[in-house]
A = this chain, B = another copy of it.
Amino acid sequence: MRSADGLSHRQEQILAYIRKFWGEKGYAPAIRDIQKDLHISSTSVVAYNLKILEQKEKILRDDKISRGITLPGALLLNTSLPATVHTVPLLGVITAGSPLPDPEDIAVADAEQIEVPADMADGEQMSGVYALRVRGHSMIDALIDDGDLVLLRNQPTADNGQMVAVRLLDDNAVTLKKFYHEGDRVRLQPANVTMEPIYTSPENLQIQGRVVGVIRNLG
């Protein structure tokens, strides 16, 4: 079984391993590193396949040199641009019962900073994004569990289909739902497709922000 570039399964495997190893450690693996981690029974098999990889110019090798494998173009990698770090402040806790904290009230500079994937809070709209820690299981219907981080963008209105944090005035409760304005009523649709929507009037709700992301850390 060969892949597109004429490498066997094992050769692809070895090549991927070398790249990964090199990225992590900063130096190339020894033949025995490859053998052990890839569960290959003999060093000679690795040597055999390395020779083929060298012939096909997927790797470079210097004879007899320990860990002398080099990847073509390795020097080019040095030119890659550093990624930008994005952080947002963790401003508090969100539960079903209590209202959200007002971002304006909190000294953002003092809050714990959370690192988030770049595309969740990028561009000119980055300002105004903050995080809240979810407490309790009340947001199960939004596919959000106890302990999750919810990323919110401060905004008082919403377009149809956007997930928003809304406060229902007559229940005095906060929920996360998809927002749909339908005539003179509002449909609040749980993210969980198996669950039923809530209908209410625009006067009964207050949009507290838009949900731009959810981060669940089980590590």
Q: Which of A67, A71, A116, A143 has the most CB of B within 10 A?
A: A143
- A144 interface residue, CB < 8 Å from B? yes
- A140 interface residue, CB < 8 Å from B? yes
CB closest chain-B residue, reference A143: B143
Verify B219–A120 contact, CB threshold 8 A.
Answer: yes
Per-residue 0/1 for A70-82: is the Cβ within 8 Å of any B Cβ (1 yes, 0 no)? 1100111111111
- A96 interface residue, CB < 8 Å from B? no
- A55 interface residue, CB < 8 Å from B? no
Say which residue of B22, B27, B162 sits within 8 Å of A28 (CB atoms). B27
> Given A140-B194, A193-B137, does the pair A23, B79 have CB atoms closer than 8 Å?
yes
Say which residue of B60, B83, B163 sits within 8 Å of A218 (CB atoms). B163
- A182 interface residue, CB < 8 Å from B? no
